[in-house]
A and B are shown apart, each in its own frame.
Chain A
């Protein structure tokens, strides 16, 4: 069975595609998402084999969403696009599959056949697009936010409550479905500890402790631990 997630902000498009994929019983639809926020959460959670991804979605486009996924666990992506508004040429050059809306059954069959041949993670897709994180999807309670990467001070993960994010002048705290690794790989943020990532722009000073450990003081007057393994990332001031 090929575990499949479909992402599209138009409900009928989602249903239509679902019913067409379902005809092939090799595919098991494990998730239906109507935006990138939901999709990131589900992909991280379910680790699907294939994602049918609409490009034109609110806040975060399908292409922007790519940079928010773990490249080591990247599912195969099939883009869905409307009236050729995105660079179809880029897809062709990089042997990336894409479907035009409305999706035609015979065209979908070809895509499904290809997926059945090879549904290994698709690393190549990440090279086809710029992978700098500019905005980070976050949530607090039931509310979704999109935080500019430049405003993020500090990201940390907790084994019990997931990934937390401190951002903005008043150092507000949010949750995010992005893993720490994504920040490390796709932004200027630096890892300083297995559980912590820091934005170097907010470092006031780095205090050297014994045993090669350190402590970062931010302009927000918080302190963040630096582990021995990551001390090389920084050039201590004192």
Chain B
């Protein structure tokens, strides 16, 4: 008999609870919900919580009215709204939600036929107390810094259950005062258990759902912030991972996350520090914090939340900072720690969970940037290396031949020998002058001319040269050593292999926005030639500087001619 009565009461309650669950779900999908995921609530946030959960209270009462079975107090789910309102909004909001629900209860169940009786008052007061007590729990946990417990289903269920017991107790107390204890007892005997179960489970479920939605929401906004940081730092990390770039990045991260302070370190030094405590965290100083050293050595995230694990700045006792998250910057490919990023919050502020996730995202982002920067630096160095290689490759071989030729003619043609020495010193002077990666076409042609004067002396009538480049292109910028090595190859692997007269022709074809320099020899021995790689290197440099539509192509008609075409852009001033 008791069982059927229990079922009779709990069935509608569970139905109502499901309605709430549905409504609460819809609520989490509205924009106002995002306001509630913050731990620090503003007044408008509180107003929203008040309105929504007062609505729940009223709905709880109204729904039970619809399925009314007896005239007086009935099993209802009003408590759900009050308890959640209190848990989310704190004591003031909880109290207001409770009293709103309570007053509504008092008046909705009474009419002229059925005036307000003790049980109506008792219900109203009990609901108010429920909201208030839930709010007090909120305040207590917030102050303890354990707000996350508010969303733990077991804990919330327990709280809701205890508050529910308080409700029953309040009603019985009222019954005692008004002398209707027996009626109250009989009523409660019937409905207390179903209500306790339905309401506590309802509260727990809704809070759990809010927690899940909040988590999703956190991730979304942390992604959004990470994205914003990615955008803003894109151009900075393009250069290097050093104090200057780190300073700019830490500044952006601090602005975007609004944490107390941000620090970036490499493996040994503090590269940048922005925010609270800037006065005594000096960039450039050696890392002295044992936490940071540990994070670097063990390649692990260290979180000192200031509650479970204390953080105290070891540089200055009065430092405001009270919690710290250290995340290593990693090169995942070789499992190496490049440095760390550190987020701080002051002592009076909690370290938000969202920032922990965010910190990890930022660290990941930054690691990637550093690696790209590193790669680019290596790339740059490689080009410089190539350039150096070209200069050193040319000189000894060429110098030997030049000096041998000069020594051969010194006794018979001293004047010619002297002029060749001039050409030779010109050639090397121009090598010395080229400190950068590029030069003018004029300079490059002069370089080639000095070179050819000496080669012509070596081969005499076995080599003739024609250069036809329009003067207005002389100002064009070309990579250094673009032409000379190609001309050298044309002689070394081309005309010098001919029995008859060799001919080198350097010409140019202009198109609207580009031009092609052609070095042609009349040997046509390219196919027989050993790959020297110099052409390839020049091609690579041109492509790096100007893009893939420029560079070198080689055509060869065996035993007739070899043509090396160097395609370059016309750069307008």
Contacts and interface: CB of A to CB of B under 8 A. Distances in A.
Q: How large is the interface on B (under 10, 10 to 19, 20 to 34, 35 or more residues)?
A: 20 to 34
Given A15-B412, A82-B400, A10 B499 contact: no
Contacts of B499: 35, 37, 58-59, 144
A16 interface: yes
Given A11-B460, A12-B460, A59 B497 contact: yes
B412 A10 contact: no
A42 interface: no
B109 interface: no
A19 interface: yes
A101 B401 CA distance: 9
B408 interface: yes
B411 A12 contact: no
B400 A58 contact: no
A12 B496 contact: no
Nearest to A35: B499
B443 to A, nearest CB: 29
Contact of B412 (A19, A34, A101): A19
Interface string B551-564: 00000000000000
Contacts of B407: 16, 102
A198 B411 CA distance: 52
A9 B404 contact: no
A96 interface: no
Interface in A19-38: 19, 34-35, 37
A13 interface: yes
A140 interface: no
A83 interface: yes
Contacts of B462: 9, 11, 34
A15 B457 CA distance: 13
A59 B525 CA distance: 11
Contacts of A58: 496-499
B408 A83 contact: no
A37 B499 CA distance: 9
Interface string A70-113: 00000000000011000000000000000001100000000000
A16 B496 contact: no
B405 interface: yes
A12 B499 CA distance: 16
Given A82-B401, A101-B404, A12 B409 contact: yes
B356 interface: no
Contacts of A59: 497, 499
Given A59-B497, A59-B499, A10 B408 contact: yes
B459 interface: yes
A37 B498 CA distance: 12
A12 B408 contact: yes
Which of B458, B497, B499 counts the most A-chain CB atoms under 10 A from its CB? B499
A192 B498 CA distance: 35
Nearest to B460: A11
A13 B400 CA distance: 13
A12 B397 CA distance: 18
Interface string B278-314: 0000000000000000000000000000000000000
B26 to A, nearest CB: 87
A10 B411 CA distance: 16
A9 B460 CA distance: 10
Contacts of B497: 58-59
A123 to B, nearest CB: 29
B120 to A, nearest CB: 114
A58 B459 CA distance: 12
B397 A83 contact: yes
A15 B408 contact: yes
A13 B401 CA distance: 11
Interface string B471-512: 000000000000000000000000011110000000000000
A34 B499 CA distance: 8
Contacts of A15: 408, 412
Contacts of B457: 12
B315 to A, nearest CB: 65
Closest 3 pairs between A and B when the two form their complex, measured CB to CB: A12-B408, A16-B408, A102-B407
Given A15-B412, A16-B409, A82-B404, 20 more contacts: A9-B462, A11-B459, A11-B461, A12-B405, A12-B409, A12-B458, A13-B408, A16-B408, A16-B411, A16-B412, A34-B462, A37-B499, A58-B497, A58-B499, A59-B499, A83-B397, A101-B404, A102-B403, A102-B407, A102-B408
24 contacts: A9-B462, A10-B405, A10-B458, A10-B459, A11-B459, A11-B461, A11-B462, A12-B405, A13-B408, A15-B408, A16-B407, A16-B411, A16-B412, A19-B412, A34-B462, A58-B497, A58-B499, A59-B499, A82-B401, A101-B404, A102-B404, A102-B407, A102-B408, A144-B499
Interface of B: 397, 400-401, 403-405, 407-409, 411-412, 457-462, 496-499
Interface of A: 9-13, 15-16, 19, 34-35, 37, 58-59, 82-83, 101-102, 144
